[in-house]
Copies of this chain bind each other. A is one copy, B any other.
Amino acid sequence: MIRIGIDAMGGDHAPRVVVEGAILAAQKFDDVLLKLVGPEERLRSLVLECGGDASRLEFADAPDVVEMHESPVEALRQKPRSSIRKLASLLKDGQCVAIFGAGNTGAMVAAATMYLGLLPGVKRAGIAVAIPVGQPPVILIDVGANVQCKPAHLVQYGIMASEFARRVYGVERPTVGLLNVGEEEEKGHALAKDAQELFRSAPISFAGNVEGRDIYRGTTNVVVCDGFVGNVVLKVSEGMWERVTEMFKHELAGRGGGAGAGAGAGAGSGAAALAQALAGLRARFDYNEYGGAPLLGVHGTVLIGHGRSDAKAVASAIRWTREMHRAQLNQAIVEAITAMPVDAGGGA
């Protein structure tokens, strides 16, 4: 049994959608045991209300919640009984092997770093996101754990994400690009320039600089950037996808279809085709399909979800949490990081 802890209070639509997602996942995977963390009584009654099988779920009581707007480190200190802090302690105590939460990202990162600790040799944890541009997806790291990066952090991100691509997506020799403003070596700010040499001496397939558009072209398997830039990339993509979808629906409405993805009754076949195309695009591109992003570099398997996750996204994230755990990624990361010379960003 793979025991996975879930922050039932994490995300904009918690706890209901988290409970619904957990019920979905419990039905689908009979080798996982899900432990819902939050106000126990409330969660128990919510499971019943949602028609879930309570015997497939466990509960860990945590009456407090770290809100989305709270300062992560302060909130964790001031709320020792928060669901995020409890989640981390469950993993630390061996009551589960993996955790997932869609709440305050900074608090998830801080709790994992402070209570679980970094893997041997790792200098900073990084959040990796699989961008669904094709099979395999492009791994973008870091998307927000570390907004003030040093060159060695970037190189370690390249190493960790390479192991992620290899172990979880089966890419034999993942190529790694450094996100920059141009392909030439001398381009970019001090961080990007200083990182070049370290990257070249790292035990990865470094492909040099890549540009923003390369992320969606799949030029390399892995794209490395600091957490500030990665966070902006992710949110810009999200905003643009929303906008394009909206415009598409507008076109659809103008042709007699409904505003939803399904063509309304009485819509012409043109509108129906548009509605189908939109649904097709959405299935291939919607971030909700992925659900969770691993925090690489900490002990245990830690997945972070999008605040706006729905039940399907939660269930999908639980599936990925399970995959990640089975891939024994951390062992591979420790081997790769410690194999690297100290002066090239290694930690041995």
Task: Give A residues with C-beta under 8 Å from B.
Answer: 69, 71, 133, 144, 147-148, 179, 181, 183-184, 186, 188-190, 192, 211-217, 225-229, 231-244, 247-248, 251-252, 255, 268-274, 276-277, 280-281, 284-285
Q: With A234-B212, A270-B269 known to touch, is A244 a contact of B242 (CB < 8 Å)?
A: no
Report the bound CA distance from A255 to B274 in whole Å.
10
Asked if A213 contacts B242 (CB within 8 A), the reply is: yes
- Measured CB to CB, the nearest residue on chain B to A212 is B235
Q: Are A188 and B228 in contact (CB under 8 A)?
A: yes
Q: In the complex, what residues of B have CB within 8 A of residue A212's CB?
A: 231-239
Contact between B217 and A239 (Cβ–Cβ < 8 Å)? yes
Query: Which of A188, A277, A284 is packed against the most chain B CB atoms within 10 Å?
Result: A277
- Number of copies of chain A assembled together: 2
* Selected A-B contacts with CB under 8 Å, 5 pairs: A212-B236, A212-B239, A240-B240, A241-B244, A269-B269
Distance from A181 Cβ to chain B, minimum over Cβ atoms (Å): 4
**Do residues B228 and A213 form an inter-chain contact, with CB atoms below 8 A?**
no
Residues in B with CB closer than 8 Å to A231 are 181, 211-212
Q: Are A236 and B215 in contact, with the CB atoms below 8 A?
A: yes
Contact of A238 among B183, B213, B235, B244 (CB under 8 A): B213
Besides the known contacts A213-B242, A214-B239, A215-B239, 20 further A-B residue pairs in the complex with CB atoms under 8 A apart: A133-B243, A148-B190, A211-B235, A212-B231, A212-B238, A213-B239, A215-B236, A216-B236, A216-B239, A217-B243, A225-B232, A228-B229, A233-B233, A236-B236, A236-B237, A244-B281, A244-B285, A247-B285, A251-B281, A252-B277
Q: A236 — which chain B residues lie within 8 A by C-beta?
A: 212-213, 215-216, 233, 236-237
CA distance A179 to B211 in the complex (A): 19
* Complex Cα gap A276–B252 (Å): 10
Q: Is the CB of B181 within 8 A of A147?
A: yes
Task: Establish whether residues B232 and A181, one from each chain, have CB atoms under 8 Å apart when the complex forms.
Answer: yes
Q: Judging by beta carbons under 8 Å apart, are A179 and B273 in contact?
A: no
Nearest Cβ in chain B — how far from A151, in angstroms?
A: 15
Most buried by B among A231, A232, A251, A268: A232
Of A237, A255, A281, most buried by chain B (CB within 10 Å of CB) is: A237
Q: Knowing A233-B236, A255-B273, A272-B270, say if A248 contacts B213 (CB, 8 Å).
A: no
- Chain B contacts of A248 at CB under 8 A? 277, 281
Enumerate chain B residues within 8 angstroms of A229, measured Cβ to Cβ: 228-229, 232
* A251–B270 CB distance below 8 A: no
In contact, A235 and B213 (Cβ under 8 angstroms): yes
Q: Are B228 and A181 in contact (CB under 8 A)?
A: yes
A5 and B232 CA atoms in complex are apart in Å by 36
The residue of chain B having its C-beta at the shortest distance from the C-beta of A279 within the complex is: B251
Q: Measured between C-beta atoms, what is the minimum distance from A132 to chain B in Å?
A: 10
Q: How far, in Å, is A102 (CB) from chain B's closest CB? A: 16
The complex places the Cα of A144 from the Cα of B237 at a distance, in Å, of 19
Measured CB to CB, the closest approach of chain B to A230, in angstroms, equals 9
Q: Are A251 and B280 touching (Cβ within 8 A)?
A: yes
- Min CB–CB distance A82 → chain B (angstroms): 18
Chain B positions within 8 Å of A280 at CB level: 247, 251
With a cutoff of 8 Å between Cβ atoms, the chain B residues found around residue A251 in the complex are: 276-277, 280-281
